[in-house]
């Protein structure tokens, strides 16, 4: 006779999922230099935001684009790790997938830089 199925505790499984997510962040910042560069950019943008007293709407847009950069970096890193595991040798299809992931990061960074310029340049110019 099979054992009765043990029901998982919902809250315990949520707790463990946070652990996995924080471990993913730890891996990201330990292994990906680009993630550390993005952190520097986020710190600079946040510092400028406080220094230039940007509006709530500007904060909202700034936080969203900074978050997008990190989301794309995380997804790109996951794709690269999985692709390297599945195909350690250079394969054209894997290269395309990895290049597309990198393009997603680049597009998000370009968008964040444009948003930063729209928010910060007029305020910096007004200081002079």
- If you average pLDDT over residues 105-125, what whole number do you get? 97
62: closest CA among 50, 74, 46?
A: 46
34-127 to CATH, choices 3.40.718.10, 3.30.70.1560, 1.10.287.3610, 3.20.20.120: 1.10.287.3610
Q: CB 108: neighbour CB atoms within 10 A? A: 21
Residues 6+ apart with CB under 8 A from 41: 66, 69, 112
Q: What is the pTM of this model?
A: 0.83
Distance in angstroms (rounded) separating the CA atoms of residues 1 and 57: 62
Distance in angstroms (rounded) separating the CA atoms of residues 106 and 37: 13
Res. 41 pLDDT band, cuts 50 70 90 = very high
Res. 66 pLDDT band, cuts 50 70 90 = very high
Res. 11 pLDDT band, cuts 50 70 90 = confident
């Amino acid at each position: 006779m099979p054992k009765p199925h043990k029901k998982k505790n919902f809250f315990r499984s949520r707790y463990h999922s946070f652990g996995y997510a924080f471990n993913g962040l730890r891996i990201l910042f330990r292994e990906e230099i680009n993630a550390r560069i993005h952190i520097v950019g986020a710190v600079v943008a946040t510092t400028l935001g406080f220094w230039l007293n940007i509006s709530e709407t500007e904060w909202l847009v700034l936080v969203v684009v900074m978050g997008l950069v990190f989301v794309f970096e995380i997804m790109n890193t996951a794709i690269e790790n999985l692709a390297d595991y599945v195909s350690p040798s250079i394969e054209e299809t894997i290269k395309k997938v990895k290049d597309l992931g990198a393009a997603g990061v680049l597009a998000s960074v370009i968008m964040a830089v444009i948003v930063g310029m729209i928010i910060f340049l007029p305020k910096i110019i007004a200081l002079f």
